[in-house]
Copies of this chain bind each other. A is one copy, B any other.
């Protein structure tokens, strides 16, 4: 390692949180004529960020002083070229490029992505409002206790949880329903039922980053609190169908598989299997498609289900016809009667061709109690698009009143994949009505005045904030899809006028400020 004459000249850069292993730092010094290990920029020089590696006494200089010194020196020597020499008075400084990517599993939304997100969310919101639902939201950070449920749900293992500075166990919400239940209980008698609430919120799951899954997604939820009848489920499915139609999907692109958890419950009851196994069995069955059948059998057996019951269960789960189900379970049970009502309502709502009975649908959350449904793509390429159902006991297990409820969650990921596949993603461009530009530096203020006049009339304006050649301005106008270019030039301005160019037609004219609108 080269000798360092004056250790104070080693500028440390703790704000970039760059930690080098000692061996790595040594290597760096050994190879100080070849800095390609680091992402370098603009000939800035490199510093070593671990004070204890060198003879800098941290008591003499606080880390912020050191950082500030680095900062100041970087400006003073900004123009210098690369310097590999470490002998004085060379100053070595680290500008370690930060990781420019968002944390693993998360996304940035640059303008083009944001336009798509806004388009999607507007459709979520407009459909919800068409159905008379009110928007709500909850904290993205909730108490962990809200999500600690029984039955081995996937969601619990994927909780993004930690202890906050006040030693509270908190979690980034993995779903919205528990928060909604909490808020409904909190509101108590002050709200009149039924509640029809919707939300579009970000949810977090710490999943293995396989299969292109992300760790956060936005979820559209619609919930009806206080309606025990199947009309509620029928209404919810109707709203999703309305959404699908709005964004260009048809019944030949997507559909809903519908069942009821009561089917399972009635089979279990036939075999005198204790109801307390219900949740656990549901979770096992929900994973059925992803694991070998023998594995499912084994799991059901170790849950305490007899082999005979398992076979019956698996047979029932393979049923895709309501008539067949009725033959097996009989016509008097709640499961069959609920499902028959739903299919009859679907006809009146006008979405019969979108839904089909499928006993294998149970959904992966422990709290469902009745009808469950799942949106799917008919080509079978993607995971479920959305899912929901009735959860009549969630509020009471949280200590609230026994209030019937149902709802669904609809993520922002699978639907975008599907629209991409079908070529249905909309083309969304930035659109600004006017671009206003001063032709002379002295006219910047005049251009600002023109922009203000237009904006006060509700016209959007991209104001050119620097003196730029006209060629640049036209390129900019094209990029922002401006309809009009308004040029503020000296001779027109002295007459109280500006020059207007309609960019689609090329038409050009002069008008007074009063005429601008």
Given known A131-B455, A432-B132, A460-B131, contact A100–B202 (CB-CB < 8 A): no
CB-CB < 8 A to A103: which residues of B? Answer: 139, 141-143, 164, 168, 170
Given known A72-B274, A465-B231, contact A186–B134 (CB-CB < 8 A): no
A194 to B465, CA, bound (A): 9
Residue in contact with A204 in the complex, picked from B141, B166, B461, CB distance below 8 Å: B141
Residue in contact with A400 in the complex, picked from B41, B399, B430, CB distance below 8 Å: B41
Q: How large is the interface on A (under 10, 10 to 19, 20 to 34, 35 or more residues)?
A: 35 or more
Contact B449 A106 (CB under 8 A): no
A183 within 8 A of B: yes
Residue in contact with A187 in the complex, picked from B110, B182, B348, CB distance below 8 Å: B110
CB-CB < 8 A to A71: which residues of B? Answer: 150, 276, 279, 393, 397
Residue in contact with A136 in the complex, picked from B67, B109, B137, B459, CB distance below 8 Å: B109
Using a CB–CB cutoff of 8 Å, the interface residues on chain A facing chain B are: 14-17, 39, 41-42, 63-65, 67-76, 78, 95-104, 106-111, 114-115, 117-118, 129-132, 134-146, 148-152, 160, 162-166, 168-170, 172, 179, 182-183, 185-187, 192, 194, 196-197, 202, 204, 206, 216, 224, 227-229, 231-232, 234-235, 238, 242, 274-280, 344-345, 347-350, 393, 396-402, 430, 432, 435, 444-446, 448-449, 451-452, 455, 458-463, 465-466, 475-476, 479-480
Residue of A106, A117, A136, A399 with most chain B CB atoms under a 10 A cut-off = A399
A398 to B95, CA, bound (A): 7
Closest CB-CB distance, A94 to chain B, in whole Å?
Answer: 9
How many monomers of this chain does the complex have? Answer: 2
Given known A160-B164, A455-B131, A462-B132, contact A137–B150 (CB-CB < 8 A): no
9 of the cross-chain contacts (CB-CB < 8 Å) are A16-B398, A64-B151, A68-B151, A95-B399, A98-B143, A109-B138, A118-B135, A231-B448, A345-B444
CB-CB < 8 A to A216: which residues of B? Answer: 139, 141
A463 to B75, CA, bound (A): 66
Nearest residue, chain B, Cβ from A69: B276
